[in-house]
Structure 1
Amino acid sequence: MTIQELAIPHADICDELKLYFNGGNFSITDNTIVIDANGNVDTDTYFNSFSIRKWMKYTELKNLTLTIDVEGECSIYLCYAWIDKTNIIRRAGDNKPAFIKESSARESLTLTYPDNSEGTIAYYRIASENGPVRIYAAGYSSDLSITNDVKVALGICTYKREDFVYKNIASLKSSILDNASSTLCGKVKVIISDNGCSLDKAQISDKDITCVDNLNLGGSGGFTRCMIEAKKLMVSDNITHIILMDDDIVFDPQTIERTYTLLSLLKPQYYSNAMIGGAMLILNDMPKQFENAALYHGGMLKFENKNIDLRTIRNVLTNERPKDVNYNAWCYCCMPLSVITDDNLPMPFFIHMDDVEYGVRNKFEVITMNGINVWHPFFQNQRPASIVYYDVRNKLITMAELGGMHIERYASFYLEMFHNYIFNYDYNRTILACQAILDFCEGIDAFKAADALELQSRLSGYNQPWLDDDDGSVLAGIDNSESVNYVSKKGLLINYLLPAKKESITVDCSINNAYPYRAKQLIVCNRRQNKYCVYKKSLLKLIHAKHMCNKAKKAIRTTILDSSWEWHDRIGEITNIDYWKNYLKIN
């Protein structure tokens, strides 16, 4: 059976060629690769190499073959690559052809890879000497038999991102849902939790698509609603797994196909409850990887291979090395529905840390693999202030449940970190971090009694608006050198007591810890989107922020430890189906 097909770059998904192919003197037209004389194509890349070491671990793979539909005279190399113990890249099979095709006619070939116990990835090279060679299709195959009967639900949580959703649904329909030639046709359902209640249901209507209006209770509310709906399909349609997906991603349908194939072939005795995690690549810098599963330990999050450029063979190999991870972000995350039970639902966090907490709580084996990914927008230092509240509160709750650093020390660390935002006039982040600590200390009863929709509305009022710089005049004033680091009590006092020397300091949003010394305001700019945000110096807001800091310090000294134990002992009260049905107002 074919277990991984050739991936081709597409302009509407990703056209970064070196994520797909290396080589020279070749071109791609209508999904056909044409290699000119003295040219070659190598597939030692993120999308077209084969993760053979992982496949041999997670499945019963014993042999690997290359199936290829090719026209023209060429040499075909069957290769392996790995990084040895001295950190040197090693290759095998790249210096001698495994097969020389002497005929110019179009043929379908099946070639078996030689055994290699060291290879991290397998790949192939096609070289042309005398004239054009055309590759119409290719794929990695094996004599594996299906071990698991798999049907998948795609759970998409969305809030007023109609354009992304319509585009992704159209892609799913044409490639999988309505494509009789797809191996996944009839084996995939789509569930959309429309938190904004803004989608045109007629536009996405399909026998395999369920779209439900949902309260705007954030990502955790939307994804949990998808889980609840998927559990219904587990009974009616024999759905076995759910893939959670963000609404603002770009993805290749092959990612779902590769996920499905891997699920079908996993060793059931070892990996029936495994999670398959998709990497998050950066939409506005497509070769860069932002996250590829991660480790939560002791209250800290560790991200390996963050920001690596996946166009290089070294990073492709590094990304395949085993790593210590225990959760995957829900931008693309597959898990078995058997784990999701009526008393084992996610935390109602609204947003952030829900994927961390659920992954760690359930002790998933997290499987990652090159070529299983999505692209997600990312802009540095542009998260709204309201996110700070959820980050701090939810991480404290997670620590109370799962353990970690002494929670008093950790809360104090957070307080100190967000206290520093008053130096760049971003008082709201300081205030909301303090409020998060205070609300955590109020305990689980206060959490259950709170109106999550009203809370989100109130928190949104702290967000600074991003303004359009239509004529470019604001961005033209960017001078990152004017950002002076004066983080000290003395510097703070001087800045607020002395009169301002200038109206504003303007910096790029990529600058961390921009401190506008002796300026009335700090302007932070986003060059990519031609937007800017203004933070103004205010003695009154400074006093308010300092007052909140003092309240939070007192709560840390007096109540946080008792509150932590309360959260730990009663966490099950908010992770069961009865709580969630009431929370989401589901009849």
Structure 2
Amino acid sequence: MTSMKFANILLETNPRSVAYPALYCRSDHPVIFNEAQGEWEMYGAGTFDFSTYFNSLSVKKLKQFTKAKSFTLHLELKGAACEVQQTMGDAFAHDPIEVEGVRQELPASSQWQSVDMPLTITDDMVIVGFIIKTEGSVDIRNSYYELEIDGDLNDVELVLSTTTFKKEAFIERNIGLVKEQIVESADPIAEHFHMYVMDNGRTLDAEKLTSDRITVIPNDNVGGAGGFTRGMITAMEQDPKATNILLMDDDVAVSPESIKRTYNLLRILKEEHREDMISGAMLNYEIGEDQWEDIGNMTPQGTFAGCKPGMRLTLFEDLIYNEMFTPTKWQRDNMYAAWWYCCIPISVIEKNGLPLPVFVRCDDAEYGIRCKTGFITMNSLCVWHMSFFERYNAAVERYQTTRNTMIAQATCGMAPDADFMKELHNNIRLELKKFGYANAELCLDAFEDFLKGPEFIKKPGQSEKSFMAANRNKEQLVDFETLQAQADKDPELAGFRIEDVDRQLIDGDKPRSMPERLEDLITDNNQRYVKKDGSGYAVIPLQGWLYPAGAIRGKHKLIVLDWYNRKGYIRTKDVKRYEAIKKRYARDLKYYKANIERLRKEYTAARAELTSIAYWKHYLKMD
């Protein structure tokens, strides 16, 4: 049996830990950091519950996926008298349950006292944790869960690869955290780790930021797909060769402890799980206790979706649900791990090839579905990421997503039963009803680029050109001051004042009768069959998937607002433009029906080349 420290008891000082302390410790008194001593003080007599997202132990999954056989809690405490009690949660638990017979009492002491408490683990336990009940202030330091492993530890060389494009504040902070808390730490990971930063924007000071085990590489703007692929190739060719690569977005906040636990998890995986991907969760950057997704799937409708419902990770019952969730058969067959935090074995890359050259969007989904590995998720493995509402970009959602899902399905067989043509039809029609003609045209641009076949995306630089063109062709939002000036010049928008807009107006809609619903369905908001200019205006949100049907019906103008970024755009109903788009769409569909079988064969034949090291090295100018 081999002993190893698996997870530190984590307490942090950052905006999320201050705003959402119950991710770390639930208590009826403060937990205060003494910076001079590097210690934490549980302040005052009270109960401090560490059965939390970061400080509970996922014993059910550890028993399932790893060689762990027994579990011990190590604590170092000093101060008032206190009692340490093991807790657990089973499938039915709403609150931590104290485990009978597993507790230790400590007398008051001004000296540090160590607690090494073997934990009782039964088959029905999902997570375990502990509570400290104090009679006064108690300090805590150097505390962790220790595991006994059946056999030797796995040899692991971990690469962290992140791709950045002009996100200096995020990436420089993350480089600093990694350097201080991983590379310069005394933990075993420090000697078996390297971080590569692919700087697609070439805006970082590579010489200044590069140091021992951290390398910043200036790169062409080849998107996330190109940056992460370069990270994969570099990881395979480094000495010693990496065993696993952790892909992580640039615009995230991360706790280095999550990376340490990922490394430790890799060291103890059972042989049959060593080629599983580890999928870290996306927590909401703005609402730090909320989990958006930790494993995704391509739906039958052809959309990206999390497998799990949203979780609030300060709720104990959600910690249990997060660990117990079982995907449906559809989800298992069409499952992927998003690359905001995804750890992939190098052997899986060698077997399945590299990603497709699609620049951004769908690269991670296609790759996860293609590789058909198992997926491991676990409480505490996560990043905080900006929500999709706050960074909506029509060039991504209407051009990139439309084109890339079709390419991925045709080339690598991604989600063969997902209906991307139906999704295209729905998106075009939704944009037309909302007078989003430029966005509908982006959908058709994407569709037509797919119809050009694999030779189109194969050319180095083409993906960047296409994305830049989509950004030029999308609606060009203006700041609120400019928007107001535009509205002031338009008699139809008389009375509009941006300062009068609030969330209630943005989120609101109006009810429709059944005849009104039928009319909207048949006429696309009076642009087909029954053609009316409409009158007045409505204020609606930017996000393309939203459909405030009652608010927009019968209107001539729509003021579209990006509420989060304080920008907007004025749309005007244009029946002639609507008709031109419909005519173009009909022409494209005719070509699609006549050529789709040929195109599928061409894309399938191109797969080996597009996912090869030789192709990518040429594409990335590495040869």
Task: Say whether residues 1:265 and 2:278 are aligned partners.
Answer: no
The answer for the alignment partner of 1:443 in structure 2 is: 453
State the AA in 2 paired with 1:474.
Answer: I
Q: Take 1:413 and 1:208, find their aligned partners in 2: how far apart are those partners?
A: 44
Q: Deviation string for 1:478-519 (max 9, x for gaps)?
A: 4244667764233522699444432x3223457921353344
The answer for the alignment partner of 2:85 in structure 1 is: 77
Q: Take 1:344 and 1:425, find their aligned partners in 2: how far apart are those partners?
A: 42
Question: Per-residue deviation at 1:530?
Answer: 3.1
Task: Say whether residues 1:474 and 2:498 are aligned partners.
Answer: yes
Q: Are the equivalent residues in 2 in contact too, given 1:381–1:512 (CA < 8 A)?
A: no
Question: Per-residue deviation at 1:527?
Answer: 3.9
The answer for the alignment partner of 1:541 in structure 2 is: 577
State the AA in 2 paired with 1:263.
Answer: L
Q: Take 2:401 and 2:211, find their aligned partners in 1: how far apart are those partners?
A: 37
Q: How does 1:154-303 map to 2 (within 5 A)?
A: 154-177=160-183, 179-233=184-238, 236-267=239-270, 269-296=271-298, 301-303=304-306
DSSP 3-state at the match of 2:342: strand
**Higher mean displacement: 463-472 or 146-155:** 463-472
Question: Per-residue deviation at 1:216?
Answer: 1.1
The answer for the alignment partner of 1:426 in structure 2 is: 436
DSSP 3-state at the match of 2:380: coil
The answer for the alignment partner of 1:123 in structure 2 is: 129
State the AA in 2 paired with 1:22.
Answer: R
Q: Take 2:25 and 2:399, find their aligned partners in 1: how far apart are those partners?
A: 44
Task: Say whether residues 1:59 and 2:87 are aligned partners.
Answer: no
Q: Take 2:394 and 2:588, find their aligned partners in 1: how far apart are those partners?
A: 18
Question: Per-residue deviation at 1:350?
Answer: 0.9
Q: Are the equivalent residues in 2 in contact too, given 1:220–1:351 (CA < 8 A)?
A: yes
Length-normalised TM-score, structure 2: 0.86
Q: Are the equivalent residues in 2 in contact too, given 1:381–1:509 (CA < 8 A)?
A: no
Task: Say whether residues 1:354 and 2:363 are aligned partners.
Answer: yes
Task: Say whether residues 1:580 and 2:616 are aligned partners.
Answer: yes
Q: Take 2:56 and 2:83, find their aligned partners in 1: how far apart are those partners?
A: 18
Shift of the 167–536 alpha-carbon distance from structure 1 to 2, 3 Å rule, reads farther
Q: Take 1:491 and 1:257, find their aligned partners in 2: how far apart are those partners?
A: 53
Shift of the 413–527 alpha-carbon distance from structure 1 to 2, 3 Å rule, reads closer
Q: Deviation string for 1:275-305 (max 9, x for gaps)?
A: 1111111111211111101234665645223
Q: Deviation string for 1:31-88 (max 9, x for gaps)?
A: 644345541111121111110111111112111111001122111111110223xxx5
Q: Deviation string for 1:313-371 (max 9, x for gaps)?
A: 11111111143353210111111222323971111111111111111222221111100
The answer for the alignment partner of 2:523 in structure 1 is: 490
Task: Say whether residues 1:28 and 2:32 are aligned partners.
Answer: yes
Q: Take 2:243 and 2:16, find their aligned partners in 1: how far apart are those partners?
A: 28
Q: Are the equivalent residues in 1 in contact too, given 2:51–2:96 (CA < 8 A)?
A: no
The answer for the alignment partner of 2:56 in structure 1 is: 49
The answer for the alignment partner of 1:463 in structure 2 is: 474
Q: Take 2:154 and 2:477, find their aligned partners in 1: how far apart are those partners?
A: 49
Question: Per-residue deviation at 1:405?
Answer: 4.9
Q: Are the equivalent residues in 1 in contact too, given 2:247–2:339 (CA < 8 A)?
A: yes
Question: Per-residue deviation at 1:180?
Answer: 4.4
Question: Per-residue deviation at 1:91?
Answer: 5.1
Q: How does 1:541-560 map to 2 (within 5 A)?
A: 541-560=577-596
The answer for the alignment partner of 1:310 in structure 2 is: 313
Q: Take 2:243 and 2:140, find their aligned partners in 1: how far apart are those partners?
A: 36
Identity of aligned residues (%): 25
Question: Per-residue deviation at 1:157?
Answer: 0.5
Q: Deviation string for 1:144-185 (max 9, x for gaps)?
A: 3652121211111111111111111111111122x2423322
Q: Take 2:389 and 2:359, find their aligned partners in 1: how far apart are those partners?
A: 22
The answer for the alignment partner of 2:546 in structure 1 is: 512
Q: Are the equivalent residues in 1 in contact too, given 2:303–2:423 (CA < 8 A)?
A: no
The answer for the alignment partner of 1:561 in structure 2 is: 597
Shift of the 380–124 alpha-carbon distance from structure 1 to 2, 3 Å rule, reads same
Q: Are the equivalent residues in 1 in contact too, given 2:526–2:554 (CA < 8 A)?
A: no
Q: Take 1:79 and 1:319, find their aligned partners in 2: how far apart are those partners?
A: 18
Question: Per-residue deviation at 1:96?
Answer: 6.2
Q: Are the equivalent residues in 2 in contact too, given 1:475–1:525 (CA < 8 A)?
A: no
Q: Take 1:60 and 1:494, find their aligned partners in 2: how far apart are those partners?
A: 64
Shift of the 77–34 alpha-carbon distance from structure 1 to 2, 3 Å rule, reads same
> How many residues matched?
577
Q: Take 1:405 and 1:475, find their aligned partners in 2: how far apart are those partners?
A: 48
Shift of the 353–309 alpha-carbon distance from structure 1 to 2, 3 Å rule, reads same
Q: Take 1:193 and 1:228, find their aligned partners in 2: how far apart are those partners?
A: 12
- Stretches of structure 1 that go unaligned for 5 or more consecutive residues are none
**Higher mean displacement: 103-112 or 398-407:** 398-407
Question: Per-residue deviation at 1:112?
Answer: 0.8
DSSP 3-state at the match of 1:142: strand
Q: Deviation string for 1:456-488 (max 9, x for gaps)?
A: 221111222343336995253342446677642
Q: Deviation string for 1:403-424 (max 9, x for gaps)?
A: 64567x5414422333221111
- Stretches of structure 2 that go unaligned for 5 or more consecutive residues are 485-496
Q: Take 1:382 and 1:160, find their aligned partners in 2: how far apart are those partners?
A: 15
Q: Are the equivalent residues in 2 in contact too, given 1:475–1:530 (CA < 8 A)?
A: no
Q: Are the equivalent residues in 2 in contact too, given 1:26–1:33 (CA < 8 A)?
A: no
